[in-house]
Structure 1
Amino acid sequence: MRTLGNVLWFLLAGWWLALLYVFAGIVAFVLIITIPFGIASFRLAGFVLWPFGRRTEFRRDAGLLSVIGNILWILLLGWELAIAHLVAGLLLCVTIVGIPFGIACWKMVPLALLPLGQRIVPIRHPSEDPFAATPGPRR
C-alpha cells in the first residue's frame, strides 16, 4: 500500500514539490554560508518525493544553531515552500481521490518551515505513519 501511495503521490504532487526543494537547495549553495540550508533542502527533496513509509522527528541534540538557522530558513526559503505545500494541498483536495494526499501535503508545512534539527526515519509500525488517512491505535 505504501508503494501505491508513493507512486500516486509522485505523480500528483511529489515530483514538482521535490523540484522546488532542489531549486531552493541550489539557491542556498550559491552562498557559502547557506550550504547547510542547501543540504537540508536536498534531504527534504528526497522525503517529499517519496514520503510514505517514512516520518520526521526532532533531534534531541539540535541546539541553538538549529533554532537560529530555522529562523533564517523561514525568512529566506521556508515561507515559499510552505505556501507551495498549502497550494498543492488545496489543489489535491479538489478531487475525492486527492483528499488524503492533500492532507498529507498540509502535514508537511511545518517541515517546510522548520527543517533544521529534524531527521527522517523509517516507519517501523503502520500506526506510526503520519500520512495515513486513518491512523491505527498507538501502543
Structure 2
Amino acid sequence: MKVLGNILWLILGGGIVIAIEYFIGSLVLFISIVGIPFGLQTLKMASLVIWPFGRESRVHSRSSGCLYILTNLIWLIFGGIWIAITHAIFGLVLCLTIIGIPFGLQHFKFTSLAISPFGRDIVNVK
C-alpha cells in the first residue's frame, strides 16, 4: 500500500516537482562552504519528499546543542519559513478533497520538517 501511495504522491501530490526544487536548491547551497550544511539538509528533505509514505522525520537525541538551535534559526530566517508556508498552503488545498487528504497530511508533515530540519533523522516506519 505504501508503494501505491508513493507512486500516486509523485503523480498527484506534486512530489516530483517539489523534490526537483529541493535538489536544485541544494545544488545552489553547495556553491559556498557556509551553505554546505544547509544543502545537506535540503537533500535529506528531497529524499523524504520523493518517497514519503512509510517514512518520517524524528528528532534525534544529539539535537540538544546550541549549534542545532543556531542553524535552525538561520534556516528559518533565510528560507525555511517560506518553505513551511508553501507546504502548509499545499496541505490545505489538498485537504479540500477527500482523495487529497493523505497528500495534504504529507505536506503538513513536511511543514514541521521545513521549520527545523537540523537535528532530525529520516527513518522508516513499519
Given that 1:18 and 1:49 are in contact with CA atoms closer than 8 Å, whether structure 2 keeps it comes out as yes
> Looking at both structures, which has the greater relative contact order when contacts are Cα pairs under 8 Å and sequence separation is at least 6?
2
Structure 2 CA distance for aligned equivalents of residues 21 and 87 of structure 1 = 17
Query: Where in structure 1 do 4 or more consecutive aligned residues deviate above 2 Å?
Result: none
Name the aligned partner's letter for residue 57 of structure 1.
R
Q: Percent identity?
A: 40
1:48 deviates by 0.9
Q: Give the alignment of 1:114-133 within 5 angstroms.
A: 114-123=116-125, 125=126
Q: Following superposition of structure 1 onto structure 2, how do residues 28-107 of structure 1 map, counting pairs within 5 Å?
A: 28-62=29-63, 63-107=65-109
TM-score under structure 1 length normalisation:
0.82
Give yes or no for the alignment of 1:21 onto 2:18.
Answer: no
The answer on whether the counterparts of 1:20 and 1:81 sit within 8 Å (CA) in structure 2 is no
Q: Give ranges in structure 2 of 5+ residues lacking alignment.
A: none
Instruction: Name which of 94, 115, 120 aligns with 1:113.
Output: 115
Unaligned runs of 5+ in 1: 126-139
Offset from partner CA, 1:34-87 (integer Å, 9 cap, x none)? 210001101110101111111111111122111100000011121121122112
Is the Cα–Cα contact under 8 Å of residues 10 and 49 in structure 1 kept in the other structure?
A: yes
Taking the aligned partners of 2:114 and 2:27, their CA distance within structure 1 comes to 16
Residue 31 (structure 1) shift: 2.0
TM-score, length basis structure 2: 0.90
| Residue 100 of structure 1, CA deviation | 1.8
Q: How many residues align?
A: 124
